[in-house]
Amino acid sequence: MALNYKNIVPWGRNYDEYRRMFDLKDNRASILGCGDGPSSFNEEYTRKGGRVVSIDPIYKLSREEIEERIEETRADVLEQTEKNKEKFVWSEIRSIEELDKIRMKAMKIFLNSYDEGKKNRRYVPASLPDLPFNDDEFDISLSSHFLFLYTDKLTYEFHKKAITEMLRVSGEVRIFPLLDMNANRSSYVSNVLTDFKKNSIEIRKVNYEFQIGGNKLLIIKRNRVKT
């Protein structure tokens, strides 16, 4: 059975998952998280002394509205996952119930930090492919479970513009996973490798896999012009 969410859903992951998905080694990098939604990464990374800004159109909403949206979509996400259990690795996360518990814990941390985070400009209501930041404002731009994942909903032209913009505001882009919603390698990956071949590109295996085969990270580093 194919996974078929009606819309892009708010579903938050935690700091440890981000650290492993993106092979983050320390907390010194200045990070832009694109499409972070109700992830707890921002709050947990900030607590560890790092600098991170998250963007997502959902940040236009109030805390109460986001919490309501999570509850509206939660049952559908869990039901779709249950119907497609064969597409996931059930080793660290052992059941649908445990998945729900882990995700809700992360999203609770996010919700508790949301109002202060918005006031401090850590949560910015914006979306790819247009970023409201200066050139080279960050060290790394991250995309977790957004680019490539929604291959059926977002065009390749959108992906190309989004990656170009992420490279404008940071010297390095990291995208995870390389799979679409149904655990197939996105058809856009090969196009990205071709269109950005003038940059330094690496596909790196990481110590994280929940979707079967979803253990590879795309890293694109902008080549700097020598003066």
Count other Cβ atoms within 10 Å, centred on residue 91. 8
Question: Residue ranges of the alpha helices (H) in 126-221?
Answer: 156-169, 189-195
193 in any annotated domain:
yes
**pLDDT at res. 182:** 83
**pLDDT at res. 8:** 63
Q: In 3D, which of 114, 95, 97 has the Cα closest to residue 40? A: 114
- Find out whether 221 and 171 touch, Cβ atoms under 8 Å: yes
**pLDDT at res. 26:** 76
Total domain count, the chain: 1
Show the domain range for 187: 15-221
Distance CA 186, CA 149 (A): 7
195 in any annotated domain:
yes
105 in any annotated domain:
yes
5 in any annotated domain:
no
CA atoms within 13 A on the CB side of 119: 5
4 in any annotated domain:
no
Which domain CATH number covers 185? 3.40.50.150
**pLDDT at res. 225:** 52
**pLDDT at res. 104:** 96
Can you give the three-state secondary structure of 106-152, one letter per residue?
A: HHHHHHHHHHHHHHCCCEECCECCECCCCCCCEEEEEEECCCCCCCC
226 in any annotated domain:
no
85 in any annotated domain:
yes
Q: What is the pLDDT along the chain (227 residues), one digit of tens a residue?
A: 444 444 566 789 999 999 999 999 877 899 999 999 999 999 999 999 999 999 999 999 999 999 999 999 999 999 999 999 999 999 999 999 999 999 999 999 999 999 999 999 999 999 999 999 999 999 999 999 999 999 999 999 999 999 999 999 999 999 999 999 888 999 999 999 999 999 999 999 999 999 999 999 999 999 865 43
165 in any annotated domain:
yes
